[in-house]
Structure 1
């Protein structure tokens, strides 16, 4: 999902009790949710893995999000530059619970966190509306009646585009080789049209 040009992922099925103390954390283990996880993997190793994944997916007639392997690799690749969403959200909820106040005017800053800040609004009727920001001032998550929504940072979006660029080129080359060898490859456009969840490089 895209909101004002920013990639957003929504999570449902969490607590919506209306009390900050009872708000459940989002499932950051979900393949579509990113939080900081740096590894010793070199960029050259990632590039090799992306190309290999693209070739494997093309041979199986899958493209981008249609492939579980692609989704898992994308999560690892993007998480290298992700903010510590888990820490920011956990700190934010603790700050709200500690203050335990209702704010009847729009989005007062409730607390400056170690890695960012949290903005909180509670009418006392519906579930509170909360925004979580990283240390760069980018909004990384919100909580409302609809549950949790994660927002990609600029760095995450750039990382996502980088991987898709490498993957798409390798996938296209594999399809061309398959065609030259007399196979029946799935075309780029056909694969994208068959999957609404395929990542758009323009996102």
Structure 2
């Protein structure tokens, strides 16, 4: 599940993948709801053009936002550019948790200074809960026995909102244009 910390757009979705570390099934980083840092696939101008083109295609096909695989792919690519490196944070965090024999966390200098912090609860080698924070102090992921939850950072949420604005405006323009063409076709048919 990906949840924005101050975002009213919460998604309920299990993000567990197939790999394990200890008793923890690692998240599926390819899932639409879980972003991790990636290099930009194109410039912001090209992203904008791709978003507008996708909106036009989706409107013509009668799809809107996440109903479209192309839209989901663009969102993931566009937002991941500003995402924290969740994959590395989680991997290093779990490695540190399993190295620590204490059921409650001590401060991990590596995580505090490079990756953020981890808070967790475990008994022996069974991890039941963990929180992962980036270096800005924003919670970016949690693990509980039921799976993973991803939290959007302020930067990710802003970039996703920007994409939605571009897409929605383009989709609405395409819908108005389509209705205009339909109205013109209807008037030609009526007058003919």
1:45 counterpart = 2:42: no
Indicate the residue corresponding to 1:191 in structure 2: none
Contact 2:24/2:127, CA 8 A, preserved across alignment = no
Contact 1:47/1:166, CA 8 A, preserved across alignment = yes
Structure 1 gap segments, 5+ residues each: 184-203
Structure 1: distance between partners of 2:168 and 2:27: 31
Structure 1's 12 and 39: CA in aligned 2 closer, same or farther, altered over 3 A?
Answer: closer
1:11 counterpart = 2:8: no
Contact 1:132/1:142, CA 8 A, preserved across alignment = yes
Which aligned pairs between 1:104-143 and structure 2 lie closer than 5 A?
A: 108-112=105-109, 113=111, 114-122=114-122, 127-143=127-143
Count of paired positions: 176
Instruction: Give 1:8 deviation, angstroms.
Output: 5.4
1:134-173 deviation digits (Å, cap 9, x = unpaired): 1111000001121111111000100110000000000000
Instruction: Give 1:21 deviation, angstroms.
Output: 2.1
Structure 2 gap segments, 5+ residues each: 184-192
Indicate the residue corresponding to 1:64 in structure 2: 65
TM-score by length of 2: 0.82
Larger helix proportion of the pair: 2
Structure 2: distance between partners of 1:147 and 1:127: 11
TM-score by length of 1: 0.78
Instruction: Give 1:40 deviation, angstroms.
Output: 5.5
Alpha-carbon RMSD: 2.4
